[in-house]
A and B are shown apart, each in its own frame.
Chain A
């Protein structure tokens, strides 16, 4: 992917350079500079788009950088070479401030907040006359090249744009790039893999703003005079169209998108209105034909055409072995582990309550989870089982009550932090990152134990990290998914998808694993395989497991203790046979007594 992006940049640069040498040299170099600055804006707005938030103020960072450079170079004797990175830093700081406030929101609210910031900066340029010169603007910004010829400026810009593309291509292939993609797939699932949303998106926002700010500085230096009218309101939006036309999911997307819709208007000398019609018309037509953008939809079409026999065969093998593994109809309960009551419990939940409006989804639930056990949770739909999971795994804040883990209180600690402390949960729905390959699904969750350093996380190409890939492959093997490693997770059949969901959770190396209905929708054979996998996690790896499940037969095979919830209250707790014989459970949930438990 990176190679194709570099090739495209090279093509763009060489193409423009050829023009620059031609008869109308300075004119085409002029176009080249502006195109390359657009390209920088497009690649730098992309990381946040990968994380699935559209910022509508990227043009504002460009303008902030331009004004910072103009003010520094004309009001102080700061050199232009020092002013450029300073402009980037000012823009990144602005992004940090606006991001801390706005990235707590998502979607339309985030849009309105970033847009508000764009309007406010424009107002600042217009009316803060003392600082920005108001409508008169700032003139005399020094040029980057001593002799103000356009061709040299063009070559400096080529270097800058090339460096920007390279930086973002490296980020794209790093662990952090993969984490941003995971966030773009699902914030909740990413959190359960230990990836927090706010910090990562803030980083993407600020890094993008830095490059936009430096690009703005280049622009100010290039045209030497800036005023509020230099920065079109539409710039922020055009930049997004460049990325979307090419496809946000590939680093080559913004490059191709800029080439398709960004170059022609500059070249043609059209009026603003004609350019607007062209950019928007081309964007519309391309998105209608290829909704994910030229590069991404194109690659998908190629991939679909290529045969995938290998992984299909491997999958058949897995399913066949799964079918063989299922045999024997007597359900055997595992012998209860002897629990040392004096020992500190792994988790202690104390009088936990959760209210939604006036409805008590959970009231005063108290229980303990002991190290090494498998604890089953049963109860009718709406009993509060998932609410309980959300509250103990940091996915929602309980209304009252407290949770301790390994002797420390963890009430209200966000879910992605709890993953790093050893608690991982799975979901009934949204179980895998559909847009990532099966291996990447596991890789992205694998950073929890090792805590890679910042530089390693940002720079090292993840697929060249032997430690990480080997660990991921081991997890895939344990769940018999190795034959699918390179397939997109979206292609997995349902049963294997559920398996991958547990594999992702397992890759985080948890001490306490909370499984939310791992068997829902599985066939008998698949359910048996899943329960075998769960049992081996407990037996061989010593993971403590809490599992919500409706399929009692499968559940009693693995669990040593059981809790029963009804209408938000804990109604029974103890050995599975005793809990299942409880008359209250029978009438509220089971209907008829469950008598098939045979003690091993």
Chain B
């Protein structure tokens, strides 16, 4: 029973990670830039949800949509103002993204202060199956994550813009010859990535206390998920995100919660070390 409970908690944690990681991997695929500011977008999503429900007084479900739209917009603006400048300058682009993340996070600390904020969600019930306790909010998180993953897969596989994204990911020049500009693809990728981060933030808002630094750990664990799952591979990313969530949950349950983060990184280090035994150097 304890194991099942841990598995459920892990799936809920993995669901949030998956939403953050899917956006991250989409952006990386198009721009080859590691978007460190993605965790800050997740944090802004949670605060947008808070502003909607607790300040403006609109319902939780519309607030999720508002978060998605607002963060998608922020993400596209960042893409056009900042990331577009650093195409082909991978290191500089990565550092600029880090600077952006640090700027947003610290501005958040100054602006929001250390006041703990919480969103009162409508899904407060808990489903009890014997000794298994399943909060409905967390079931909702898992369902939304899986549904959005399905929608994203369909989008990438079936629609014009989805194919455009894959085309740019594989061969920028050839895609441009087909009339797809990289800027267009970038806007689509950042919009979707931002929307997913906004939804993820809104989903965790009723489940945890909000703080300006809440985006850092999910960002780093999402990195783990996209690297282990294969850069640009959304199916692998989803699987890896759930894997990380479940690992964290089991370590917390059976050992100590403090060990959850570093054991995840130890495991990823091992996986990557084994995988890179044969160097792929001349890429």
- Taking Cβ atoms with an 8 Å cutoff, the residues of A that contact B are 49, 52, 54, 101-102, 104-109, 111-113, 115-117, 119-120, 122-123, 126-127, 187-188, 191, 197-198, 234, 237, 240-241, 244, 248, 272-277, 279-281, 283-284, 287-288, 291-293, 395-396, 414-415
Whether the Cβ atoms of A240 and B98 lie closer than 8 Å is: yes
Q: Which residues of A contact B276 (CB under 8 A)?
A: 101-102, 104-105, 109
Chain B, 225-240, CB within 8 A of any chain A CB: 226-227, 231
CA distance A237 to B103 in the complex (A): 13
Whether B102 contacts A115 by the Cβ 8 Å rule is no
* A101–B273 touching, CB < 8 Å: yes
**Which of B34, B89, B258, B279 is close to A104, meaning CB atoms less than 8 Å apart?**
B279
Which of B105, B262, B268 counts the most chain A CB atoms within 10 A?
A: B262
| Distance of A275 Cα from B276 Cα, bound (Å) | 38
Evaluate contact between A280 and B269: CB separation under 8 angstroms.
no
| Interface pair A54/B273, CB less than 8 Å apart | no
Interface string of B42-59 (1 = CB under 8 A from A): 000000000000000000
From residue B233, how far is it (CB to closest CB) to chain A in Å?
A: 13
> What's the Cα separation between A108 and B32 when bound, in Å?
9
- B binding-site residues for A, Cβ under 8 Å: 28, 34, 82, 85-86, 89-92, 94-96, 98-103, 105-107, 109-110, 220, 223-224, 226-227, 231, 258-259, 261-262, 265-266, 268-269, 272-273, 276-277, 279-283
In the complex, which residues of chain A have a beta carbon less than 8 angstroms from the beta carbon of B89?
Answer: 291-292
Known contacts A119-B261, A120-B266; is-contact A395 B282 (Cβ 8 Å): yes
A293 to B86, CA, bound (A): 12
How far does the Cβ of A62 sit from chain B's closest Cβ, in whole Å?
A: 18
> Does B106 contact A277, Cβ atoms closer than 8 Å?
yes
Given contacts A191-B281, A276-B105, contact A101 B99 (CB under 8 A): no
Chain B contacts of A273 at CB under 8 A? 106, 109-110
Contact partner of A283 among B85, B99, B268, B283, CB < 8 A?
B99
Question: Considering the chains assembled together, what is the distance between the CA atoms of A276 and B106 in angstroms?
Answer: 6
A123 and B269 contacting across the interface, CB-CB below 8 Å: no
Given contacts A106-B281, A119-B261, A283-B96, 15 further A-B contacts (CB under 8 A): A52-B90, A54-B91, A104-B277, A108-B223, A120-B266, A237-B98, A240-B95, A248-B91, A275-B106, A276-B102, A277-B102, A277-B106, A280-B98, A284-B96, A284-B99
The residues of B that contact A288 with a CB separation of less than 8 Å are 82, 85, 96
User: How far is A105 from B281 in the complex, measured between Cα atoms in Å?
Assistant: 8
Specify which chain A residues have a CB less than 8 angstroms from the CB of B277 in the assembled complex: 104
Q: Which residues on the A side are within 8 Å of B258 (C-beta)?
A: 126-127
Pairs across A and B, CB under 8 Å, 9 listed? A104-B279, A104-B280, A116-B268, A127-B258, A280-B99, A291-B85, A292-B92, A293-B92, A415-B282
Shortest Cβ-Cβ A-B pairs, 5 listed: A276-B106, A123-B262, A280-B102, A116-B265, A280-B103
Interface of B is mostly: helix
Cβ–Cβ contact A113 & B102, under 8 A: no
Closest-CB distance, B251 to chain A (whole angstroms) = 12
Given that A276-B105, A277-B107 are contacting pairs, would A113 and B92 also be in contact in the complex, using a CB cutoff of 8 Å?
no
Candidate in B105, B106, B223 with the most chain A CB atoms within 10 angstroms: B106
CB of B91, distance to nearest CB on chain A (Å): 6
User: Which residues on B sit within 8 Å (CB–CB) of A283?
Assistant: 95-96, 99
Query: What residue in chain A is nearest B274 (Cβ atoms)?
Result: A101
B92 engages A101 (CB within 8 Å): no
The answer to whether B102 touches A108, judged by C-beta atoms less than 8 angstroms apart, is no
Give the distance to chain B from A354, nearest Cβ to Cβ, in Å. 14
Smallest CB separation, A233 vs chain B (Å): 8
**Contact of A234 with B102 in the complex, beta carbons under 8 Å:** yes
The residue in chain B whose Cβ has the minimal distance to the Cβ of A397 is B278
Shortest distance between the CB of B237 and any CB in chain A (Å): 13
Known A-B contacts A112-B272, A277-B106; the reply to A244 vs B281 at CB < 8 A is: no
Q: Do B227 and A108 touch across chains, with their CB atoms under 8 A apart?
A: yes
Find chain A residues with CB under 8 A from B107 CB: 277
Contact B100 A280 (CB under 8 A): yes
Q: Are A52 and B91 in contact (CB under 8 A)?
A: yes
CB-CB under 8 A from A104, the residues of chain B are 276-277, 279-281
* Cβ-defined contact, B269 with A198, below 8 A: no
Interface centre among B102, B226, B276, by most chain A C-beta atoms within 10 angstroms, is B102
A277 and B103 in contact, given A104-B276, A244-B95 (Cβ under 8 angstroms): yes
Question: Contact: B98 with A241, CB < 8 Å?
Answer: yes
Highest count of chain A CB atoms <10 Å: which of B90, B223, B269, B280: B269
Interfacial chain B residues near A244, Cβ < 8 Å:
91-92, 95
Q: Is the CB of A198 within 8 A of B105?
A: no
Beta-carbon contact of A107 and B90 below 8 Å: yes
Interface centre among B258, B261, B281 (most CB of A within 10 A): B281
B223 close to A277 (CB less than 8 A): no
How far in angstroms is the closest Cβ of chain B from A594? 31
Q: A54-B91, A291-B89 are in contact. Are A396 and B231 (CB under 8 A)?
A: no
Q: How far is the CA of A508 from the CA of B281 in the complex (A)?
A: 21
CA distance A291 to B83 in the complex (A): 11
Task: Tell me which of A49, A113, A237 contacts B269 (CB under 8 A).
Answer: A113
- B77 to chain A minimum Cβ distance, whole angstroms, is 14
Minimum CB distance partner of B104 in chain A? A280
* Complex Cα gap A549–B99 (Å): 47
- Of B90, B226, B276, the most chain A CB neighbours within 10 A belong to B276
Structural contact, A291 and B86, CB atoms closer than 8 A: yes
Nearest Cβ on chain A to B239's Cβ, whole angstroms? 17
Name the B residues within 8 Å of A106 (CB-CB): 281, 283
- For B101, the chain A residues whose CB sits under 8 A away are 280
Docked-complex contact A115 and B110, CB < 8 angstroms: no
**A contact residues around B105 at 8 Å (CB):** 276
- Interchain CA distance A558-B223 in the complex, whole Å: 53
Q: Are A287 and B92 in contact (CB under 8 A)?
A: yes
- The answer to whether A112 and B223 touch across the interface, beta carbons within 8 angstroms, is yes
A120–B85 touching, CB < 8 Å: no
Q: How far is the CA of A427 from the CA of B266 in the complex (A)?
A: 39
Pair B99/A287 contact, Cβ less than 8 Å: yes
Do the beta carbons of A120 and B262 come within 8 Å of each other?
A: yes
Are A198 and B95 closer than 8 Å at their CB atoms?
A: no
Q: How far is the CA of A188 from the CA of B262 in the complex (A)?
A: 35
User: Across the interface, do B269 and A116 meet the contact criterion of CB distance under 8 Å?
Assistant: yes
* Distance (whole angstroms) from the CB of B31 to the closest CB of chain A: 12
Task: Determine the distance from Cα of A494 to Cα of B95 in the docked complex, in whole angstroms.
Answer: 32
On chain A, the residues within 8 Å of B103 by CB distance are 276-277, 280-281, 284
Tell me which of B106, B266, B280 contacts A116 (CB under 8 A): B266
Q: Is the CB of B272 within 8 A of A105?
A: yes
Q: Are B227 and A109 in contact (CB under 8 A)?
A: yes
Q: Which residues of B contact A277 (CB under 8 A)?
A: 102-103, 106-107, 110
B95, B98, B110, B266, most chain A CB atoms within 10 A: B95
Contact assessment for A54 and B94 in the assembled complex, using a CB-CB cutoff below 8 Å: yes
Q: B282 contacts which of A52, A127, A188, A234 (Cβ < 8 Å)? A: A188
CA distance A120 to B272 in the complex (A): 15
A415, B279: Cα distance in complex, Å? 13
A240 to B34, CA, bound (A): 15
Q: Quick one: closest A residue to B282, CB to CB?
A: A188
| Distance between Cα atoms of A274 and B89 in the complex (Å) | 28
Min distance, Cβ B40 to any Cβ of chain A, angstroms: 11
Does B102 lie within 8 Å of A101, measured CB to CB? no
| Nearest CB on B from A431, distance (A) | 15
Bound Cα distance A54, B90 (Å): 10
Do A279 and B102 touch across chains, with their CB atoms under 8 A apart?
yes
> Which B residues lie within 8 Å of A274 (CB)?
106, 110
State which of B28, B92, B106, B281 has its C-beta within 8 Å of the C-beta of A280: B106
When distances are taken between beta carbons in the complex, the residues of chain A under 8 Å from B109 are: 273, 276
Residue of A nearest to B279 (CB): A104
